[in-house]
Amino acid sequence: MLLSQQYHCSALSLLFRKLFPEDMQELTTQLLDMADVHPDSRSFALSTEDFNRLCLAYQKLCTEHPGLFDYDFRYNRISVPSSDIASNDY
C-alpha cells in the first residue's frame, strides 16, 4: 500500500479526534459508541446510515457541551461564532 493510500485509509477514531479539543478526546469514543460505528472502520466502508448516525451523535454531543460546535481544530481553540462577527461592506 502506498503511503498516500495509508493516509487516506486512517481509522475513524483517528480522524474524529479532530472534532474535539485535546481535553475532550474521550468524546471521540463516545461519539463512535453512540453512532454504533466501530472505531477501526474505514471511511470508505461506511454506509449512508452510518454517516447519519455519526452526524446525529455529534449534534447531541454539541448540545450537551456548549461551545463544542464552534471548536476549530486548526487553531485548537473555540472559534468566534460567525454571528458575532460584524459584517464588513467592502
| pLDDT for the residue numbered 79 | 57
The answer to whether residue 4 sits within a structural domain is no
| pLDDT for the residue numbered 78 | 62
Number of structural domains found in the chain: 1
Q: Is 65 helix (H, G, I), strand (E, B) or coil?
A: coil
The answer to whether residue 50 sits within a structural domain is yes
In the chain, the amino acid numbered 4 is S
Share of the chain above pLDDT 70, in %: 72
The answer to whether residue 28 sits within a structural domain is yes
Q: Provide the domain limits for residue 17.
A: 10-80
The answer to whether residue 25 sits within a structural domain is yes
The answer to whether residue 70 sits within a structural domain is yes
| pLDDT for the residue numbered 60 | 96
Query: Confidence band (pLDDT; 50, 70, 90) for 4?
Result: very low
Looking at the whole model, is its pTM more than 0.85?
Answer: no
The answer to whether residue 62 sits within a structural domain is yes
The answer to whether residue 88 sits within a structural domain is no
CATH number, domain of 75, equals 1.10.8.100
DSSP string, 30-52: HHHHHTT--TT-BGGG--HHHHH
- Cα separations in angstroms, 64 against 10, 21, 80: 28, 15, 19
pLDDT reading at 53 higher than 70? yes
pLDDT in tens, 55-83: 999 999 999 998 898 888 887 666 545 44
